[in-house]
Amino acid sequence: HYSRMCPIETPEGPNIGLIGSLALYAHVNEYGFIEAPYRKVAGGKATNEIVWMTADEEENHIIAPANTPIDPKTGRFVEIDHSGKVVNADRVIARTRDFDGSFGAPAQVSVEDVDRMDVSPRQLLSVAANLIPFLEHDDAKRTLMGANMQRQAVPLIRSHAPYVGTGMEARAALDSGELICAKHAGEITEADAAHVTVYSDEYGSETYDLPKYERSNQSTCINHRPIVKVGDLVE
């Protein structure tokens, strides 16, 4: 399940544990298996190459966590020595096979043995769970309730950005398909409550109509308001 199914988000009723949510970066391959992304590691250096693996493929690799310190220039694993200097690490904590053959037990291994690395600490959880600030300090039962309640939230007439966020809010809103974004870079030439017009030399004027107080399938309100003004440049 690691990085494939969220361990937190599940119904609180009779279907608890039977219904799950995909983890943040997981996807289903052409054969119907869930794959998770990992960075390729070679010679003790983390590369920018991403490989997708199923659960059975993952068991053949030694995988370092995403928050393992690395040198941003060389990609080599590093650590802080007793004098406070950043030096190349000889050993790191990684997931590998245990003495009984089971996979997933953390152990100290040589950096030369590591061949994969998680892409992000967020990849373990679903989108809803990733929207909960300071998740690691919360009780698991309350994070389950919080993740479910975020999916039950209704739109506000006057929405406001949260005071505390996780950085996932903009991505979740964009991927929802409800946001109206400019297809091409340009300058805002018209903007009111009903429409926004963007002009570019290559594509000319493009007008985007804003839905106002429309009914959703759940009988809630879908209302768009512009956040740009005439003269703004958008990309």
**Torsion of the alpha carbons at 98, 101, 89 and 48, rounded to the nearest 10:** -130
Region 180-235: CATH code: 2.40.50.100
Question: What is the rounded distance in angstroms from the CA atom of residue 69 to the CA atom of residue 195?
Answer: 47
Q: Where are the domains of the chain?
A: 27-119, 180-235
CB 186 within 8 A of CB 174: no
Closest CA to 173 of 127, 226, 235: 127
Q: Is the dihedral of CA 92, 97, 99, 102 positive or negative?
A: positive
Task: Domain 27-119: give its CATH architecture.
Answer: Roll (2.30)
Distance CA 35, CA 38 (A): 10
What tokens were used for 205?
């004027």
pLDDT tens digit sequence for 13-56: 999 989 999 999 999 999 999 999 999 999 889 999 999 999 99
pTM of the model: 0.81
From first to last of its 235 residues, the chain has per-residue pLDDT tens of 889 999 999 999 999 989 999 999 999 999 999 999 999 999 889 999 999 999 999 988 999 999 999 999 899 999 988 888 888 889 999 998 877 777 888 889 999 999 999 999 999 999 999 999 999 999 999 999 999 998 888 888 788 888 999 999 989 888 888 889 999 999 999 999 999 999 999 999 999 999 998 998 888 888 898 999 999 999 8
Which residue type occupies 112?
Answer: E
